[in-house]
């Protein structure tokens, strides 16, 4: 009876050892296959995103260029307005000086 009990314990431990060994070593090759497939997928995603990034970058560069052109146009318009206002100011100042001189001349004649 004791011998059967000892044999059963040995068999149970043997099966437990066998199952753990199979799960540890058997899944190693599956893990390697999964890792390699994941790496391939990541590489393909990286390549596709780099291509997408290049398209996105090109579009962003175009938009940035347009933005810079718009800003440059606005600054040119502002410069033109400043020049025009300066010219108007000079004309008004000259006219006011002329009117002052003429009024002072007329007062002196009287």
SS3 at position 1: coil
- Mind listing the pLDDT tens digit for each residue in 4-63? 889 888 998 888 888 887 777 766 565 667 777 888 888 777 676 666 678 889 999 999
The predicted pLDDT at position 89 comes to 95
- Mind listing the pLDDT tens digit for each residue in 49-96? 666 678 889 999 999 999 999 999 999 999 999 999 999 999 999 998
Higher pLDDT, 39 or 103: 39
| CA Rg value for the chain | 45
Tell me if the pTM is above 0.95: no
Q: How far is CA 80 from the centre of its chain?
A: 36
Tokens of 2: 């004791």
């Amino acid at each position: 009876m004791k011998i059967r009990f000892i044999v059963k314990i040995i068999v149970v431990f043997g099966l437990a050892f066998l199952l753990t060994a199979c799960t540890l070593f058997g899944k190693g090759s599956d893990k390697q296959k999964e890792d390699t497939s994941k790496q391939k997928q990541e590489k393909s995603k990286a390549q596709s995103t780099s291509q997408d990034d290049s398209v996105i970058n090109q579009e962003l560069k175009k938009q940035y260029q347009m933005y810079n052109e718009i800003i440059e146009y606005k600054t040119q318009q502002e410069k033109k307005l400043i020049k025009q206002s300066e010219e108007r100011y000079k004309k008004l100042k000259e006219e006011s000086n002329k009117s002052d001189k003429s009024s002072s001349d007329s007062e002196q004649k009287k």
